[in-house]
Amino acid sequence: MPEIRVKIASSVGLHARPASLFVKAASGQPGDVRIGRPGTELVDARSMLSVLSLAIGHGEEVVLRAEGDQADQALTELSRLLTSDLDA
């Protein structure tokens, strides 16, 4: 299962609006997508509650892991979101 590490660019971290945009994009992916801090158990990226419970702040590094035929494409799209200031 491919994975990538990215730093959160959003000035408020992965909270409220940025989390909502990320979860919506993750929900549109055909395979399983997970997110979390390096070295911890990853959570379902399609679950708003799970993503918010991570309390990920600005500049923190996260791991994205995707499964399925289009896993690499999903990682590219989602990492692009996370490396943008989604709160702008």
Q: Cα-flanking dihedrals φ and ψ of residue 81, to 5°? A: -65, -50
CATH number for the region 3-82 comes to: 3.30.1340.10
pTM given for the model: 0.94
At 24-77, the pLDDT tens digits run 999 999 999 999 999 999 999 999 999 999 999 999 999 999 999 899 999 999
Would you list the domain boundaries of the chain?
Answer: 3-82
Helix and strand numbers (H, E) in the chain are: 3, 4
Instruction: Report the candidate in 17, 48, 69 with the shortest Cα–Cα distance to residue 35.
Output: 48
Annotated catalytic residues are 15
Residues 9-37 have a mean pLDDT of: 95
Residues pairing with 63 in the sheet: 5, 36
User: Residue type at 66?
Assistant: A
Question: Rounded to 5 degrees, what angle do the CA atoms 31, 34, 38 make?
Answer: 145
